[in-house]
Structure 1
Amino acid sequence: MGFLRRRWRGHGRLAVCGLAALVVLGVAVVVWTSHRGEPARSGDSSTARVDRGEVVTAVATTGSLEPAQTRTLGFSTDGTVTAVNVRPGDQVKAGQVLAEIDAAAAKKRVNDRRQSLDDAEDALDEAEAAADAGTGACPVASVRSGRVLPVALVAGGSQTPSPSATPSPSAVPSVSPSGQPSPSRSVQPPASQPSRSAGGQEPGGGKAPGGQVPGGGRNAACSAQRSGDPVLAAQQRVTSAELALAEAEDQLAGTRIKAPIGGKVLTVAGAVGADVGAGSTFVTLADVGGMQVAADVPEAYAGRLEMGQSATVTLANRPNEEFAARVVRIDPVGTADGNLVRYGVVLAFEEVPAELLVGQSANVRVRTGEVAGVVRAPSAAVHGDDTVVIRTATGDLVRAVSVGLRGDQYTEITSGLAEGDEVVTAGAKGGPS
């Protein structure tokens, strides 16, 4: 009996071992069946399909938002601040009064200058009236007595006191008994009689040959020959007074700061009671309705930028939104940043988003090249030697391709691949294993 028990136990162990072997063999068969027909893989990898679409090259950089226009405003005269009507962050309209200073001194200056102008105009009226009271002669001051005497205009521009126009008896021609004028007694003007003026006028007050009235062009002649002309001096005084009054009125207007544009107040430099100087900045105003992005790019990429290129902007506080923009300015001169030179670029939004913050950061991507409707593969699948790894049913194959435009996400394939091909985008490159 003992012998039989030992023998049964040995057969039981063999049966258990055989059953275990059958289970392992069945699992191996299932695994082999499920993987039959798949290509052997060369390490961990992922794949993508070759398709047809758009390939874009772009320059990516970062920047910050700034107003399209910023105004620095101040008072045009010295004074003490009497009113500050805004605070930083306030939205204002064009023409709104932002701040004021004491205007008493400026008002007094305007009144004084206006009185000076009135006096100058009265003096001009008197000078013109005195000039109009003359009898065709230019009034000049006598050197000896200081009295104003009329001076006749004589030929050659010389001036002599005008005597009475009584002709000399010698000027009367004598007639011979025969009724013919004596040839030895021709009419000659006396030496003391003024000759005819250069303008064809007779000094005696009659008409000159040609019908010209004596005294024509007197004002122009007087202005040309007189020094210290009372009318001219009075006119100059009026002009100076007008300029002084205009300056004083500008200073009076400058005691109030008005918004030249609608926008947002960025800074206010003082408070009521502060003393301010003429021309110093007191309020900074920005047009936030025209916000734009200021960025810079390394010199290696600056040459790809052109005016009008399209771009997308992503804001730090809106990471899932993209806003269309375009390049509106490229700095012609770079700025050194250590060993790197950068060029500034400004981008304007196609539609300015609401609730933008001045100075907030932005990510910028400028399109520098694009093609559409081409065969493309993920750029990660195209190696530097212009080869790709194709996944087939029998394994991975390395294939040479011809490429066109290389983009950040996709690369244009001009030959070597067809739509629908599966390419490896990650993992070791190699042939079928």
Structure 2
Amino acid sequence: MKVRLSRHPSLVVNAVIGVVLVAGAITVYETFSSSGDGGTAAVASERTVSAQQGTVTKTVTADGTVESASTASASFETSGTVTAISVKVGDKVKKGQVLAKVDPAAAKRTLAEAEANLDAANDALDRAQDAGSDTTDAENSVTEAQLAVDDAEAGVAGTTLTAPMAGTITSISGTVGSSASGTGSSSSSSGGGSQGGGGSDSSSSSSTGFMEIADLTKMQVSASFAEADATKLKEKQVATVTWNALSGTSQSAKVTAIDPSGTTSNSVVTYGVTLTLDKVPTGAKVGQTVSVVVTTGSKENVIAVNSAAITTVGNRHTVTVVANGVKETRTVEIGLAGDSTTEITSGLAAGESVVVKTTSTSSGSNQQNGFPGGGNFPGGGGNLGGGNLGGGGARTGNGGGR
């Protein structure tokens, strides 16, 4: 049997070269697809830290707003046109001090009419008594007339607005010549004053009053805590309040109230918390924003270690102890888990070194189409190094035909 050799040995050579190139391209592709491709790779590292004897602290944080601990809303009891305003925003006032007045003319006319009706009712009662007839109806008329007089007298008094508590005027909602609605009361909160001429300590309207008064010597903070953090809060827990607008200013405070029900906004539940400041810092104003850190747990003079050094599986906690270059996995018992450190109640002594494992990520370079050079395979533009198989021609890479 005769073997016929090809008259074109260059074709055989080029075919072999093509196979080699394909195999090499696949290898390069696998290499770059696993490590290049613009992805990230996790890089693990270790360091050792020493167990220390000290304090472990657990805290929760939230943003808050400064507000007065005692406020009052003062409103006229009687409607009318404002004829006088005796104070301005920022003025300090005493309880019972006259703040403003409305025109009393209509209220005085009502009082005069009520007094006339009372006189007439008394005359009718006298006539009934003189005639020896039943005086029941006449007596009822006198009683009703007297009540009307009492109401009318209150209406006249209600044309003068007085301060229901001592404090600072924080807002005035009207001007001289404007109309003031008569709500019949003023409202106060957190220790606000009782009735002082033009108002009382209860509210009959949800709207703000003609004037707002606040005790600026007693400040508190209102903050909203996430529901998971709110479950850890209790009254009398200590906190630190830091002012955003007052550089370097912070003040101690205590939790004084926690809302029993939460508020939902955008599917997020928060609970309102009130904190009383131990002292009002210089420059503190109502409405300023603050950061609140509440201490929910603290253990002093305990063995503590970086929380990242502890491995927990179920109820079992372990650390890797390093002594004389030798690593040992040791079971420990833990106590309070703080913000960055955890209390060790047994299994570890102060000064012993433990391993902390850290993981970082690194980004690989982004390769166009998975290979350097911009093409599908190394070369920069063709399918296999510039041409279809090597150079630029259909097969041989030289541009020739067969």
Instruction: Give the TM-score, by structure 2 length.
Output: 0.63
Q: Which is strand-richer, 1 or 2?
A: 2
Structure 2 matches for 1:246-261, cutoff 5 A? 246-261=150-165
- Which residue is 1:303 aligned to? 231
In the alignment, structure 1 residue 366 sits paired with structure 2 residue 297 = no
CA distance in 2, matches of 1:367, 1:396: 36
Distance 1:323 1:244 in 2: 55
SS of the residue corresponding to residue 110 of structure 1 reads helix
Aligned partner of residue 287 in structure 2, secondary structure: coil
Deviation at 1:407, TM superposition (A): 0.6
Once the two structures are superposed, residues 287-332 of structure 1 have per-residue CA deviations (whole angstroms, 9 ceiling, x without a partner) of 3333221111122222222233332222223453442322222222
Structure 1 position 346 matched with structure 2 position 346 = no
Q: How far off is 1:416 after superposition?
A: 3.2
- Equivalent of 1:327 in 255, 262, 285: 255
Partner amino acid, structure 2, of 1:316: N
How far 1:44 moved relative to its partner?
8.6
Aligned runs of 1:76-87 on 2, under 5 Å?
76-87=77-88
Deviation of 1:261 (Å): 0.7
Larger radius of gyration between Structure 1 and Structure 2: 1
- In 2, the alpha carbon distance for the partners of 1:243 and 1:348 equals 45
Q: 1:87 aligns to what SS in structure 2? A: coil
Structure 1 CA distance, aligned partners of 2:246 and 2:344? Answer: 35
Higher helix share: 1
Provide the C-alpha distance between the structure 2 equivalents of 1:244 and 1:417, rounded to a whole number of angstroms. 83
Q: For residues 249-269 of structure 1, what are the alpha-carbon distances to aligned partners after superposition, in whole Å with 9 as ceiling and x for unaligned?
A: 111111121110112222211
1:291 is aligned to 2:292: no
Counterpart CA distance in 1 for 2:182 and 2:359 is 72
**SS of residue paired to 1:320:** coil
SS of the aligned residue for 1:250 comes to helix
Supply the distance in 2 between the matched residues of 1:81 and 1:333 (Cα, whole angstroms).
41
Other-structure match for 1:103: 104
**Structure 1 residues 115 and 362, CA, compared in 2 at 3 Å: closer, same or farther?**
same
Matches within 5 A, 1:11-410: 49-131=50-132, 139=133, 229=134, 231-279=135-183, 281-353=209-281, 355-379=283-307, 381-382=309-310, 386-388=317-319, 394=325, 401-410=332-341
Matched with 1:18 is none
**Pairwise CA RMSD of aligned residues?**
3.0
Q: Find the counterpart in structure 2 of residue 420 from structure 1.
A: 351
TM-score between both structures, scaled by the size of structure 1: 0.59
The alpha-carbon deviation at position 72 of structure 1 amounts to 2.4
- Distance of 2:248 and 2:332 partners within structure 1: 36
**Gap regions ≥5 residues in structure 2:** 1-43, 184-206, 361-402
- Aligned equivalents of 2:300 and 2:121: distance in 1? 78
Q: Matched residues, percent identical?
A: 41
Alpha-carbon distance in structure 2 between the residues aligned to 1:83 and 1:288: 25
How far apart, CA to CA, are the structure 1 residues paired with 2:89 and 2:286?
12
Matched with 1:206 is none
* Higher RCO (Cα < 8 Å, 6 or more apart): 1
TM-aligned CA distance change 1:125 to 1:335, over 3 Å: same
250-259 or 347-356: which moved more? Answer: 347-356
CA spacing shift, 1:325–1:402, aligned 2, 3 Å = same
Letter in 2 for 1:291: M
Change in Cα spacing, 1:384 to 1:84, as seen in structure 2 (3 Å) is farther
Equivalents in 2 of 1:401, 1:339: separation in Å?
40
Cα deviation code 1:54-85 (max 9, x no counterpart)? 32222211111122243222222221111122
Deviation at 1:123, TM superposition (A): 3.1
| Distance in 2 (alpha carbons) for counterparts of 1:318 and 1:389 | 45
Amino acid at match of 2:160: R
Q: Deviations over 1:164-210 (max 9, x none)?
A: xxxxxxxxxxxxxxxxxxxxxxxxxxxxxxxxxxxxxxxxxxxxxxx
**In structure 2, what is the Cα distance between the partners aligned to 1:243 and 1:418?**
83
Cα shift at 1:240: 1.0
**What amino acid is aligned across from residue 151 of structure 2 in structure 1?**
E
Q: Could you tell me which runs of 5 or more consecutive residues in structure 1 were left unpaired when the two chains were aligned.
A: 1-41, 132-138, 140-228
Identify which range, 278-287 or 288-297, moves more after superposition.
278-287
Offset at residue 336 of structure 1 (A): 1.4
SS in 1 for 2:217: helix
- SS of the residue aligned with 2:153? helix
d(CA) in 2 for partners of 1:294, 1:362: 9
Q: Is the 8 A contact 2:70 2:215 kept in 1?
A: yes
Quote the Cα distance in structure 2 between the aligned partners of 1:424 and 1:83: 76
Distance in 2 (CA, whole Å) between partners of 1:83 and 1:380 is 68
| Change over 3 Å in CA distance of 1:380–1:321 after alignment to 2 | farther
> Aligned partner of 1:260: which letter?
P
